[in-house]
């Protein structure tokens, strides 16, 4: 039986995956990297800021020192934070708000397991905070998905054994992390049927048999 559902944030509850892409694209253009595209962006789903930067730099032909990389990651984050200024409830992905309400009504605990260090501000601006019991994010972790750390921290904060947690993810790295942590998984998003999740659905607005899912 599932007692807690742990949601990834970007691309699962909120459309901020698109803003990440726009911010990386702006940085890439400044670096003269013209080949960075949506296909590359798929490799950034779920992984940390620094791992996402490596995906961009791999499309160029220059080597960067660790200091330069840190400065570039900060620059991208500043572009991203500027885009987040306009964020509100409209950024919630279809079905997200209803799903959070449904789980609350059923007495299921809800956690966040996201690589993003911007998680707190996004939850606040989109009005989702009241529906979230515990948050585990890039501010809590040392390792990036597919390592299960972010989900194990969420499970611990929720007080639920890993085997009674369901992870909802839009990235292959995230589904691998859920499996590595011994958790059940629901894959959603543009690549939902290729993620290797236990159950998959195009989005949270799709017909999802929550009775069956929560009985897993
Ligand atoms: C993940 C995104 O949720 O967070 C990645 O899928 C992103 O693309 C990562 O790089 C880190 O986000 P942030 O906000 O800490 O730069
Ligand atoms: Mg995601």
Say what the pLDDT of residue 4 is: 98
- Active-site residue, 198 included: no
The ligand placed nearest to the CA atom of residue 137 is: 1
Q: Per residue in 191-202, pLDDT tens?
A: 999 999 999 999
Say what the pLDDT of residue 122 is: 98
Say what the pLDDT of residue 99 is: 98
Stretch 81-101: mean pLDDT? 97
For residue 166, give every residue at least 6 positions away whose Cβ sits within 8 Å of its Cβ, in sequence order, or none: 2, 4, 5, 6, 183, 184, 185, 186, 213, 214, 216
pTM for the model stands at: 0.96
- Active-site residue, 140 included: no
Q: How many other β-carbons are positioned within 10 Å of the β-carbon of residue 149?
A: 18
Atom of ligand 1 nearest to the CA of 76: 16
Atom of ligand 1 nearest to the CA of 11: 6
Q: What residue's CA is closest to ligand 1, atom 10?
A: 49
Mean pLDDT of the chain: 97
Residue 67 CA, ligand 2 centroid: distance in Å: 27
Residue 115 CA, ligand 2 centroid: distance in Å: 8
pLDDT level of residue 76 (50, 70, 90 thresholds) = very high
Output the six-digit token pair for 70.
């840190």
Atom of ligand 1 nearest to the CA of 10: 3
Q: What residue's CA is closest to ligand 1, atom 12?
A: 116
* Mutate-to-test residue for ligand 1 from 77, 116, 135, 176, highest number of ligand atoms within 8 A of CB: 116
The ligand placed nearest to the CA atom of residue 83 is: 1
Show the beta-strand stretches assigned E in 24-164: 109-113, 134-136
* Mutate-to-test residue for ligand 1 from 49, 91, 172, highest number of ligand atoms within 8 A of CB: 49
Q: Per residue in 136-164, pLDDT tens?
A: 999 999 999 999 999 999 999 999 999 99
d(CA 66, CA 72): 10
């Amino acid at each position: 039986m599932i007692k807690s559902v742990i949601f990834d944030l970007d691309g699962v509850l909120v459309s901020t995956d698109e803003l990440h892409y726009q911010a990386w694209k702006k940085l890439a253009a400044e670096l003269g990297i013209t080949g960075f595209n949506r296909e590359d962006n798929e490799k950034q789903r779920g992984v940390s800021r620094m791992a996402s930067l490596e995906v961009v730099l791999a499309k160029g032909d220059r080597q960067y020192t660790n200091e330069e990389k840190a400065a570039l990651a900060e620059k991208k984050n500043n572009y991203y934070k500027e885009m987040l200024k306009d964020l509100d409830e409209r950024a919630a992905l279809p079905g997200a708000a209803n799903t959070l309400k449904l789980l609350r009504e059923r007495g299921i605990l809800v956690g966040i397991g996201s690589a993003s260090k911007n998680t707190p501000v996004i939850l606040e601006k989109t009005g989702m905070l009241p529906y979230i019991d515990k948050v585990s994010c890039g501010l809590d972790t040392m390792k990036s998905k597919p390592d299960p750390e972010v989900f194990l921290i969420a499970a611990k904060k929720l007080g639920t054994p890993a085997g009674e947690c369901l992870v909802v993810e839009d990235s292959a790295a995230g589904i691998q992390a859920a499996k590595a942590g011994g958790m059940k998984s629901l894959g959603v998003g543009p690549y939902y049927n290729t993620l290797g999740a236990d159950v998959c659905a195009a989005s949270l607005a799709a017909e999802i048999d929550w009775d069956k899912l929560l009985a897993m």
